Amino acid sequence: MTLLLRLGALVLAAGLCATTHAQPLSSPDARGLPTLAPLVNEVTPAVVNISVVTRSPMENNPLFRDPFFRRFFGVPERQQQQKEQAAGSGVIIDAARGYVLTNNHVIKDAERAIVTLKDRRQFTAKLVGTDPGTDIAVLQIEAAGLSALKIGDSDAMQVGDYVLAIGNPFGIGQTVTSGIVSALGRSGLSVEGYEDFIQTDASINPGNSGGALVNLRGELVGINTAIIGPSGGNVGIGFAVPSNMARAIMNQIIRHGEVRRGRLGIEMADLTQELAKKLGVNSLEGAIIAVVQAGSPAEKSGMREGDVVTALNGRPIRNAAELRARLGLTPIGEEVEMRTLRAGASRVVRTQIAAPDVSTGDGQAIAQLPGMRVIEIQRGSPLFQRLNGGGLVVSAVDQNSTAWVAGFRPGDIIYSVNRRRMQTAAELQNALRGAQSYAVGLLRGDFNLTITLR
């Protein structure tokens, strides 16, 4: 038994050294036993705890913000509101400027966010911006002596690579777990549409959200985001936003305060056995173009329904979710190169991501979503045809307003609430009045999103 354990230790040590190519972070200790302690000591100072104070349900209710309602029902103007504490994690990625990456759901509805470092120093963070579509947010703190994690290339990850998950589960303090990459390119976990998750069996528990997934070089390869578990606990199925996606989102948030998604003008779907056979395609890898919108950049570049996209900017495309996510990260005005198959022949298409085709004007205010204004889409508009009916364009959203925090952005096209079609501002306000929760369906660029309000 002892011999088997020693052999296992030697195999593990060899595997760690071969994987990291960085002897100081994975060498055996003085006893000759394999250890990850040098790696952990190197990276954990860059992983922080995030505590937030959120608005109470009463504060979020528009009726309680109405002075007439408060006077009519005798609600004191300065009523003491209960605050809710929540805990998550974050990763310092720029020590000089104090930028911290985390999940949007960690800081959603936060009035104040407190970042606690490993050395127990605490700082009130400034919210730089969020992107609900990828569940990424960027905070900033003013502090000296910070440690930052180097961002690695998540595209280079392979199933079977060793990884560490670092975070603050259940608020008990910083914790490190280890495992391997179980799968890549996971999607279908939410309705947001921008998904390309790394799956790992390294334990990710409540409070780990926003924490670091690192490889054995000590590089950040993912932001821990979600788990699948029958009781809310870890069962070895955790998910992280790839570092390349998080970096692209972070760069736009730092530059613009938000992510500005453009339009290519396509709708896509996964290949099936039947479709592949019909199209003469020998593989199920790729995404089939289901719709090409009239007058769009895709149509102008020569793309057609039935084309199969196999690569984007030189990188293979596995499925429709991956293509959707990667196009959603491409800045407006940037040219993309797509390799496609048509009738068995390979061709290269180059086209430019365009700005969304939205209407102009001041718009109408929505009482239930302060800070947002909308414009009704008129019959005869290209948007009307694109939606096969009416809808509303979000013409303006004040930063840090209720609507902004909920995730609405200028250019969003609202078409439904709780699956009921919306065509006018009056219909939208009526739908948002009285229900306990709302699922608002909208288009952002090429993609369908759902924003849930409670």
Active site residues: 105, 135, 209
Amino acid of residue 245: M
Rounded to whole angstroms, the Cα distance separating 170 from 182 reads 24
State residue 279 phi and psi, 5-degree precision: -90, -5
Angle at Cα 369 formed by Cα 366 and Cα 374, nearest 5°? Answer: 40
DSSP state of 304: -
Rounded to whole angstroms, the Cα distance separating 312 from 348 reads 10
Core vs surface per residue 295-315: b (16+ CB within 10 A) or e: ebbbbebebeebbbbbbbeee
Q: Which of 200, 447, 184, 446 is nearest to 316 (CA)?
A: 184
Rounded to whole angstroms, the Cα distance separating 422 from 406 reads 19
- Helix extents (H) in 302-349: 320-328
Beta strands in 215-331 (DSSP E): 220-227, 238-242, 266-270, 287-292, 308-312, 315-316
The DSSP string of 151-210 is: B--GGG--TT-EEEEEE-GGGS--EEEEEEEEEEEE--SSSSS---EEEE-S---TT-TT
Alpha-carbon torsion (167, 170, 172, 178), positive or negative:
negative
Using a 10 angstrom Cβ sphere, with 0-12 exposed, 13-18 middle and 19 or more buried, the burial of residue 254 is middle
Residues facing 113 on adjacent strands: 52, 125
Q: Which of 412, 219, 446 is nearest to 330 (CA)?
A: 446
